Chains A and B, each alone.
Chain A
Amino acid sequence: MITALLVMIFLAVVLGLVLGYSAIKFKVDGDPMVARIDAILPQTQCGQCGYPGCKPYANAIAKGEADINQCPPGGDAGAKALAELMGMEFKPLNQEHGVQKPRAVALIDESTCIGCTLCIQACPVDAILGAAKQMHTIIASECTGCELCLPPCPVDCITMEPVLENSQSWKWKYPVYNIEKTSKA
């Protein structure tokens, strides 16, 4: 009886010491999760999720403050990837934050532009060239299609042009050969 008690106490002391020590020794700093979430986000920096950019949104997801389905550019596919990473159940895109649109780039109607630089300040990826009182141009290859430049423009000279498929960006489609279909044919 006494031995049993002593064994218990000895074990308790050892375990307590070891665990207390390792809690200090192996403390994890930072959160690598944020980077992994950020890698999935499309980096549009559009803010439709309710956060000022993709990184802050990634932070919020990692902390459990934001849901995984608030990113319209990422769409359902993005939510699925996030769900997989987080070990959560997939939820379809929350329509409150917007709907997924085909990729588009902003285009400035250069004849209307008054050179106010408001759009330059709004662009999250510095994809607009120009200076005060001079015409602005969008670097199409850098534009993420976030639409943040649309509201500040006082003359509404910016439009979103959808990116169309051409023979270079064209992709082979997933082959669908349904056995039911082909067997009847």
Chain B
Amino acid sequence: MFKDHLKKISSTAAAMIIFSLLASTALSISYFVTKTPIEESDARAKRIFLNQVIPSNLYDNNLVKDTISVEPNPLIGNKKNIDIYRAKKNNQVIAVIIETIAPDGYSGEIKTLVGIDQEDKILGVRVITHKETPGLGDYIEIEKSQWIKNFDLKSLDKMTEKEWAVKKDGGDFDYVSGATITPRAVIKSTYKSLLYAKENKKRLFEL
């Protein structure tokens, strides 16, 4: 009796082992086959995204790989070290891409990428993630509206601090009526990241 049971139990176990070995083999093969293409396509995707913030014709380095790590700073709202991408042309840093966090969105944090050149001018801003009300606050996405392009080429020296606000508050930025919290948050965080870039110019832009 006991022997029968043992036999049955061990046979099921053996079958399981055989099938899992087969599956593992299949997985290993496909893993090795797709490994390089996956890496390439991931890098390509990241580059495409970063190119929205800094046009690709401005730099000649491998943007995805060329980063420096910075510590937490209230101006960019990060809570742990993050990487800042640096765009170089002829071995000169011409612009950086900073990931900033606006903590005061309508329903939580808004993460953006801000591209800033060495003259404290914004090259481009894109939203990475947000939780704003669909249809109300989500016009900060490039897929939904062109609003985010308002930031292009804006800089600290051409505008007073007061102008870094929505029109309703006497500022320079357009907004969708009824939803002012979201643009306010993005404007504020972008403004602060400019301040950050200015303060840390040496570190960010020197090799």
Direct contact of A and B (CB under 8 A): yes
Interface positions of A (Cβ within 8 A of B):
1, 4-5, 8-9, 11-13, 15-17, 19-21, 23-24
Which of B8, B15, B19, B28 contacts A23 (CB under 8 A)?
Answer: B8
With A8-B23, A16-B12, A24-B9 already in contact, 6 other A-B pairs whose C-beta atoms are closer than 8 Å: A11-B20, A12-B16, A12-B17, A12-B21, A13-B13, A13-B16
Query: Inside 8 A of B21's CB, which chain A residues have their CB?
Result: 8-9, 12
Query: Inside 8 A of A4's CB, which chain B residues have their CB?
Result: 24
Q: Is the CB of B10 within 8 A of A20?
A: yes
Q: Is the CB of B9 within 8 A of A5?
A: no
Q: Is the CB of A17 within 8 A of B23?
A: no
Query: Inside 8 A of A16's CB, which chain B residues have their CB?
Result: 9, 12-17
Q: Is the CB of B12 within 8 A of A23?
A: yes
Query: From residue 18 to 59 of chain B, which have CB atoms closer than 8 A to chain A?
Result: 19-21, 23-24, 28
Query: Inside 8 A of B24's CB, which chain A residues have their CB?
Result: 4-5, 8
- In Å, the complex CA distance between A24 and B3 comes to 13
A15-B8 contact given A4-B24, A8-B23, A8-B24, CB 8 Å threshold: no
Query: Inside 8 A of A24's CB, which chain B residues have their CB?
Result: 5, 8-9
- In Å, the complex CA distance between A4 and B25 comes to 11
Taking the closest CB of chain B, its distance from the CB of A123, in whole angstroms, is 47
21 pairs, CB–CB < 8 Å, chain A vs chain B:
A8-B20, A8-B21, A9-B20, A9-B21, A12-B16, A12-B17, A13-B16, A13-B17, A16-B9, A16-B13, A16-B16, A16-B17, A19-B12, A19-B16, A20-B8, A20-B9, A20-B10, A20-B13, A21-B5, A23-B8, A24-B5
We find that the number of chain B residues with CB closer than 8 angstroms to chain A is 17
A20-B17 contact given A4-B24, A5-B24, A8-B23, CB 8 Å threshold: no
Query: Inside 8 A of B10's CB, which chain A residues have their CB?
Result: 17, 20
Taking the closest CB of chain A, its distance from the CB of B34, in whole angstroms, is 15
Q: Which of A4, A12, A17 has the most CB of B within 10 A?
A: A12
* Overall SS of chain B's interface: helix
Query: Inside 8 A of B19's CB, which chain A residues have their CB?
Result: 12
Query: Inside 8 A of B8's CB, which chain A residues have their CB?
Result: 20, 23-24
- In Å, the complex CA distance between A23 and B17 comes to 18
Taking the closest CB of chain B, its distance from the CB of A25, in whole angstroms, is 9
Q: Is the CB of B23 within 8 A of A20?
A: no
Q: Is the CB of A1 within 8 A of B28?
A: yes
Query: Inside 8 A of A15's CB, which chain B residues have their CB?
Result: 13, 16
Q: Is the CB of B13 within 8 A of A17?
A: yes
Query: Inside 8 A of A21's CB, which chain B residues have their CB?
Result: 5, 9
Query: Inside 8 A of A13's CB, which chain B residues have their CB?
Result: 13, 16-17
Q: Is the CB of A17 within 8 A of B12?
A: yes
Instruction: Check: B11 CB closer than 8 A to any chain A CB.
Output: yes
A9-B5 contact given A4-B24, A19-B12, CB 8 Å threshold: no
- In Å, the complex CA distance between A13 and B17 comes to 6
- In Å, the complex CA distance between A9 and B18 comes to 9
